[in-house]
Structure 1
């Protein structure tokens, strides 16, 4: 297993990369959580949870029609994947409410 660690993911294939990742996590006592393959991570608003199904791949930034939050597609997807994995690991994880000055 150790001889494969220096290779790039593109050289190994994603399945072998995940196997190595799970092996390394087990060794350190850490758990790896997987998210469903067709989870709409980049189309879902990380603020309110609404999904924009008409979003095309060429759109790198978009505005949520429900709450008005501006999203950068990849960052939004990363936040949604993190929250989904945390929800599976520790229970329901919801975004914190924004503080409003009175």
Structure 2
């Protein structure tokens, strides 16, 4: 979910959680991913993320940057990814990639 695939080993022997990780990877079973959200205005962490009337996730963190408001949030895989227009609490935003997260096994 957090997009930290580069931190996992798929060739190492047994370790705690290895079977679960292998199953998620094999069956593409991750139900939500951590995405960046470029926001039009500040938003409170914990705010619901929606597309239309459908709840698709939750904002986990927020910060002001020199380039504007930015947040991180978990969004359901089936809702879409980068470029998706979302409502976050009372503001709107666009889902963007986060450069240090990966979506696939490396």
Q: How high is the TM-score relative to the length of structure 1?
A: 0.24
Higher relative contact order (CA 8 A, sep 6+): 2
Higher strand share: 2
